[in-house]
Structure 1
């Protein structure tokens, strides 16, 4: 059956390519006018809930979304085989994170309509643009507000109901020569879940005010999300526990960006406050107050690029992030952590120097370093260096080699959990993690196809992982620290035809470690696909119909904690119909987990069953 599913996907792709072989082409992938949150995936809306910033990453070739129940409910975001805490997030000039646990790094209570498509930073780009992330980072920008909007509603399997509304408004009058605009969004979702005790109820409210002109944009944002999710063995398995997580996340952010000239020079600065209230229950039938947490984070920073000469430019950044936690489980005690608040600072400077080789070729030399410091640990200097060959003619557009370092401090769940008892055993002595990334990559264009390819070797030192030995009486997840070597290859291919858009991705990973004792397995650092293939297909069928399909085939690294299925095909299919007599009205039918495959994206966490929805969206 597995081979039949793979063969059917390959056959569908080959038929699409053959049918479109003589059709006009364009240079870039452009999906339909339906709201697009990412050009790398086909289905822009999920089935199980309303769209969140995580939705655009579900089938992203460079990102592995490891969901519990459904991606928008709770997800760990992994890049290049890193753990859920090795990935950073930012919006505008600001890195945004949760100090309690990396499980909540992606809890961004922002409507995707207010954001740009995500940019995935790895290697040198991650070291220059990311923060507190050793494997990779996801960067969003604030979108320009327009006089547009939509309302949508859908229902489906397991008593699913989801609704969302978004509206943007721009004023005819200008303030200090800049356009005043505002947008707002509200979204709601509920379902019984595809498995028993897998129910959820999510609500999100957003509002934003914007001042903008041709070269600058200032955004003031406020967002709130209330999220209740239930799932068996959500975090603490393998005890067949009926767990729940109840989150309320508030984000207030201010960001200003101004662009100088046509050379890419800019300055961007901002500040934010994020609060996350979390109540976790191991057994919903017997709730208690053992796992109640509140985290507060305040951050501010700036970044930019400035041309010094015609051939030389400087990139720079600096910021400060202060956090604190109030928790019934994560506090200071002899068998727990040493502190419950922390301030971190960062700064970086990087020079780009361009050497012209001839009329069509140039060499760009990049060098610099980041400085990271904290009042709770020592500081670190992380160098970055890259040499890139750029070409205007020929198939090869860019060839580069780079070396980059990055550092990260552990979160409070790892630091302050009781080291002697409980489901999650912490280690108050965990230190700073560091990564060293060596990389060779190329961007090419052949016959209207574009390719981005990279080979990398990452050396993680003192990486924090969670381990488990099921043979030990009273076994628990234990925070451990060790060294991991990762060798990887990744490639993304794109092409747009007249009626079809294609995005294919492939990645291969291999790892070694020095910290797992016999009989002990890793929940996160060794929860990765050895081989992963993604395929996003958008077909404009005519007469107002459009089909969108996302696919993922993965051969998972063997892990004794996973109960079955190391090889899996996961597919999401959507059929959309633009009603010709009602401009802006689109009807949809969607299916997630099309093949109804059981797969534990996180070991010991049951995967969801097939889900479907029928919906309508009216846009103006």
Structure 2
């Protein structure tokens, strides 16, 4: 910890001290959504997409990415402990295996298990924004984007700056984060480092998390650019109740490495990005922390991928195209040594019919070792009824193959099933977006009809869990949201942001007599999220967040969180935040008891 403090201070001193500008004036309606081929402004999208801005990230009462995402409508975040040391993400009632995480368009799917997709080696302080695409995204991102996709975006900056954050709080929590940009001539580069640890909020829930993230890029000329990234995260944690309530002394250590290199060609009517990336995840799991020999697993998964994505414009509209190949392998003391190859071809077309109607349609053709070729068509139709009102509908096919844990795991409380077949779904949504004078409202209905849904089951508490295929499971839901955002003004007391959302999901999977299901019947049924960010004077901000959640077959609960910032964008700022102010007794995942009321406070040092 002392070495990290010295490193952060030395890096920060390389920058000239100036005030940092705020980011609240960003027009999110014009933000380009970072899909890998056809990129459209947020306001022109015919999809249900949520944007989380840098302002929202910085002012949320949250110390981790999962905690930030817990305030996004339609997302069900299942944390195992505080600050998201491990967390699962569900979108529209889907399982944690049915969500695709991306970092700057790079897929972070893990062939071992979806429990590892949130091992993102980027400190929160370095994230520029988050794009959440809800609904089928297989046509856009490939097979793992079954129920939706979340793309974490970082940006290279052409200005020199640095930011240091430190905090401490209940449960012996402490953390230090650094993010900086140091352009050299035409070369832009970012570096971010973070360290967090805690004694834990209950027995055997201590953790240590370290991240280091570096990205750099250079414009070779007006048409060509190169960009590279390398990142690493190391997390060790007590895993009481993470996978079984029968063994409170579980422990896990996970290290994730990510590296990529990309080249982009940009012409007047042509765009092409080629990219190669590598992801390694190492996982050590111990059933009894102080007796490793009792039961211990080591897993190492490697993913090598090459892909090319682009678009070109003609009189017929914009054509998007892409190709990818990926090799996934695992060396495991439990799952064995295995590998599989994935290949995919993308093709889509965007056509405008006059000034009000647009159609975007395409197909993703996918090859998987053992399953052959599968094809996932999809389309979105948009109608700009007025300047303020946009109507849209969409249809798409989703597909997901089982993970290695689904197929081969052998343990005291969980057993895989090598007879599983891939799950597939037909998706339909109908929505409306309205935007005017800082207000944004959206209403969406969605339907997902799943075939061969993969769900873990057991006949009784004495029998290990094992995944099975369920046929023809239907999901229906409604999402309604209202947001209000204003530009900075000189008023002493003002509402800077306001949001309120409601989500309802119905699943027709009924628990069969004598069979207990693990995940599907704990999906969200009702969710209400509200928040208001107040500006008091020119330096004080007060953010209040509330959540009401009811999952199927579980009691509902209410959470209230707050954060106060002083001089957040100045040279030296301070913050204090509190979570679960109502001291609610609740669980999000498995049998992990979440903490009651807890507090953190810290500082921000902005250098430029």
Q: Which of 485, 494, 499 is the aligned partner of 2:474?
A: 485
* Segment drifting more, 125-134 vs 295-304: 125-134
Deviations 1:409-466 (A, max 9, x none): 1111111113xx6211100121221111011111112564211221011011112122
Alignment partner of 2:110 out of 98, 112, 115: 98
Mapped pair 1:123 → 2:135: yes
Matched, 1:456 2:446: yes
Gaps of 5+ in 1: 1-24, 31-36, 174-178, 333-339, 560-565
How do residues 64-463 of structure 1 correspond to structure 2 at under 5 angstroms? 64-123=76-135, 125=137, 127-145=139-157, 146-171=159-184, 173=185, 179-212=186-219, 218-237=226-245, 239=246, 241-261=248-268, 266-288=271-293, 290-309=296-315, 311-331=316-336, 340-356=338-354, 361-393=355-387, 395-396=388-389, 398-418=390-410, 422-445=412-435, 448-463=438-453
Residue 542 of structure 1 aligns with which residue?
A: 537
Structure-1 separation of matches of 2:135 and 2:198: 39
Residue 153 of structure 1, CA deviation = 1.1
CA contact (8 A) 1:121 1:130 kept: no
Check whether the contact 1:226–1:248 (CA below 8 A) recurs between aligned residues: yes
Contact 1:47/1:613, CA 8 A, preserved across alignment: no
Compared CA separation, residues 29 and 240, structure 1 to 2 (3 A): farther
Partner residue in 1 for 2:35: none
Change (3 A) 1:116 1:168: same
Aligned CA distance change for structure 1 residues 130 and 141 (closer, same or farther; 3 Å): farther
Please give the per-residue CA displacement for 1:547-567, whole angstroms capped at 9, x wherever unaligned: 1122211122115xxxxxx21
Q: Is the 8 A contact 1:95 1:130 kept in 2?
A: no
Partner Cα distance (2:504, 2:223) in 1: 41
Aligned partner (choices 564, 568, 590) of residue 575 of structure 1: 564
Superposed displacement of residue 96, structure 1: 2.1
Q: Check the 8 A contact 2:138/2:376 in 1, yes or no.
A: no
- Normalising by structure 2, we get a TM-score of 0.85
The 8 Å contact of residues 53 and 130 in structure 2, kept in 1 or not, is answered as no
Q: Secondary structure at the match of 1:187?
A: strand
Q: Counterparts of 1:348 and 1:605 in 2: how far apart (Å)?
A: 41
Contact 2:138 2:399 in 1 (8 A): no
Q: Is the 8 A contact 1:458 1:485 kept in 2?
A: yes
Alignment partners' CA distance in 1, 2:279 and 2:254: 13
Q: How far is 1:69 from its partner?
A: 0.6
Contact 1:40 1:60 in 2 (8 A): no
Question: Cα–Cα, structure 1 residues 259 and 521, in superposed 2: closer, same or farther, change >3 Å?
Answer: farther
Q: Partners in 1 of 2:408 and 2:276 — Cα distance?
A: 28
**Partner Cα distance (2:605, 2:534) in 1:** 21
- In the TM superposition, residue 302 of structure 1 has moved relative to its aligned partner by 2.1
1:87-133: CA deviations, max 9, x gaps?
Answer: 01223343221111001112121234544412112335553245422
Q: Is the 8 A contact 2:92 2:135 kept in 1?
A: no
- Contact residue 427 and residue 447 of structure 2 kept, 8 A: yes
Residues 258 and 492 of structure 1: CA distance in aligned 2, closer, same or farther (over 3 Å): farther
How far is 1:503 from its partner?
A: 2.2
Contact 1:466/1:522 (8 A) holds in 2? yes
Q: Which residue of 1 aligns with 2:584?
A: 597
Q: TM-score, normalised by structure 1?
A: 0.83
After superposition, the C-alpha distances for 1:575-614 in whole angstroms (9 at most, x for unaligned) are: 111189xx41111111122222121112422222322111
Q: Measure the CA separation in 2 of the matches of 1:271 and 1:557.
A: 41
Q: Which runs of 5+ in 2 are unaligned?
A: 1-24, 31-50
- Answering whether residue 498 of structure 2 is matched by residue 502 of structure 1, we say yes
Summarize the Cα distance change of 1:389–1:46 in structure 2 as closer, same or farther, 3 Å threshold.
Answer: closer
Residue 29 of structure 1 deviates from its aligned partner by: 9.5
Contact 1:346–1:373, Cα closer than 8 Å, also in 2: yes
The separation in 2 between residues aligned to 1:41 and 1:553, in whole angstroms, is 23
- C-alpha deviations, 1:197-226, integer Å up to 9, x for none? 211111112222221477765321111111
Match of 1:33 in 2: none
- State whether residues 598 and 609 of structure 1, in contact with CA within 8 Å, keep that contact through their aligned partners in structure 2: yes
Indicate conservation of the 8 Å contact 1:29/1:496, yes or no: no
Q: Single out whichever of 383-392 and 587-596 deviates more from structure 2.
A: 383-392
SS of 1:304's partner is: strand
Aligned residues: 552
SS at match of 1:118: strand
